[in-house]
Amino acid sequence: MTAIPSDPEPFPPFEVERQEHVYRSPWCALRRDQVVLPSGKLQEYHVFEISPAAVVVPECADGRLVLVGQYRYPHGKTQWELPAGRLGAGEDPALGAERELLEETGYRAGSLHALPGFYPTGGISAHYAHAFWAKDCVWQQPTQHEDAEQIFVRLFSRGEIEALLDAGRLADAFTALPLLYWLRRRDREQG
Amino acid sequence: MTAIPSDPEPFPPFEVERQEHVYRSPWCALRRDQVVLPSGKLQEYHVFEISPAAVVVPECADGRLVLVGQYRYPHGKTQWELPAGRLGAGEDPALGAERELLEETGYRAGSLHALPGFYPTGGISAHYAHAFWAKDCVWQQPTQHEDAEQIFVRLFSRGEIEALLDAGRLADAFTALPLLYWLRRRDREQG
């Protein structure tokens, strides 16, 4: 087994000359900062602010996964996605994950296990996504969708998920990334 | 081999009552739209606008991968990342990928092959990332970094990459996702 390489030596953070919100709303905000580069030069840096998210890989006792067909207004496509959503202020990521799972799919997790989380767009935002593997999911109740969500639920075998991934048909990063981690973790646990 | 499941039946797109930019800059923009939900209710929907990106998995002839240690101002961390960046207006994604590879690492690709692309944050943005596997990379020239980039280059074995992924230490989605696709593709090509 290969040793885990060290993280890179941390660079000193940029000095911040000014931070200014050019837009604020309860949903998201946009900051335009003035930072001092290592060269001493001043530079404008935009930072998009949005609350952290949680995403779930829901697996049933028979090994099938619960995905949702979901319409996304920004790009206009309807795609298969993992249940996911933003955390409420101060909400525990695991509880938020269970809440989103129940709201979007109607399933409840038997147990919840952390998968690696991620920064979806680290160059422009500190937005972070917590990811979980929900084992032994069982159907609990009809779904309770928010008004803006158009969703329907479908179960997929592991083989179907792999076929979709390898065909590049799970273009939602919040879906493909946790599923690929889940495949590796599952192989390790079985192997 | 499992058949590839169909995409979900597309939902009809939201009707758009109004689109308004609350912020515009050469780097990014923020739109606040008024959409009509299927229920007939009006809802505000924010859309973050930013140009598409390209990301590269650069592999040398000896199988080692070229990553960069990079400081990200929004979350303040220095992490191992794949070379990536935004495309210029009208820039071909493959050419943009080669340009970013050369600028950030000093390496040039022997050949370039598409990997599945992705929407990093499809709930809030149509931002899309094109991903490529660059085979037979060779060092060409010293790196030419933009002023805001603090970067250094390091080669990793496949085993080291897997160890970093499994430890959850590649938290940049633009890095973890193409690497996980690359691992699967590589196994298929060898298997």
pLDDT digits (tens, 9 = 90+) for A30-47: 999 999 998 899 999 999
Please say if the pLDDT value at position B167 is more than 70: yes
The single residue listed with the structure tokens 């009707």 is B15
Measured CA to CA, the distance from residue A99 to residue A84 in angstroms comes to: 9
pLDDT above 80: residue A184:
yes
Domain limits, chain B: 15-49, 53-190
Cβ contact A161:A84 at 8 Å: no
Given this model, what pLDDT does residue B191 score?
Answer: 59
Cα–Cα distance between A72 and B116 in angstroms, integer?
19
Determine the pLDDT at residue B185: 97
CB pairs < 8 Å spanning A and B: 250
Residue in B closest to A86 by C-alpha: B123
Which residues make beta-bridge pairs with B133?
B57, B113
Q: What are phi and psi of A95, to 5 degrees?
A: -65, -40
Query: What does the alpha-carbon distance between residue B61 and residue B83 come to, in Å, rounded to a whole number?
Result: 18
Structure-block tokens of residue B116: 């599945």
- Work out the mean pLDDT of chain A and round it to a whole number: 95
User: pLDDT band at residue B144, thresholds of 50, 70 and 90?
Assistant: confident
User: What residues in A contact B185, CB-CB < 8 Å?
Assistant: 166
Give the pLDDT confidence score for residue B1 in this predicted structure.
75
pLDDT on residue B138: 98
- pLDDT for res B148: 67
∠ CA B56-B62-B66, rounded to 5°: 30
Q: What is the pLDDT of residue A148?
A: 67
Per-residue pLDDT of A52-102, as tens digits, reads: 999 999 999 999 999 999 999 999 999 999 999 999 999 999 999 999 999
pLDDT bucket at A163, cuts 50 / 70 / 90: very high
* Nearest Cα residue to A122 out of B125, B150, B179, B77: B77
Average pLDDT for chain B = 95
Reported confidence tier of residue B39, pLDDT bands at 50, 70, 90: confident
Q: How much is the pLDDT for B145? A: 72
In the prediction, which pLDDT does A144 show? 72
Task: Name the maximum alpha-carbon separation found in chain B.
Answer: 59
The verdict on a CB contact (< 8 Å) between A3 and B43 is no
- Element spanning B3, H or E: none
The tokens for A72 are: 């996304």
* CATH for A53-190 (2.60.40.2580, 3.40.1080.10, 3.50.50.60, 3.90.79.10): 3.90.79.10
Question: B172 CB contacts (<8 Å, ≥6 apart)?
Answer: A118, A119, A122, B72, B79, B80, B81, B82
* A78 interaction partners in chain B (CB closer than 8 Å): 7-11
* pLDDT tens column, B53-112: 999 999 999 999 999 999 999 999 999 999 999 999 999 999 999 999 999 999 999 999
Q: Looking at residue B51, what is its pLDDT?
A: 97
Q: Determine contact: B20 vs chain A, CB below 8 A.
A: no
Would you tell me which residues 138-167 of chain B have a C-beta closer than 8 angstroms to some C-beta of chain A? 147-148, 150, 152, 154, 156-157, 159-160, 162-167
- Which residues lie below 8 Å from residue A24, measured CB to CB, with a gap of 6+? none
Contacts A188 to B, Cβ<8 Å: 166
Residue written as token pair 């955390």: A87
Output the pLDDT for position A10: 93
pLDDT at position B57, please? 98
Residue A163, CA atoms < 13 Å, CB-side half-sphere: 12
Average pLDDT over residues B115-127: 98
Q: What percent of chain A has pLDDT over 70?
A: 97
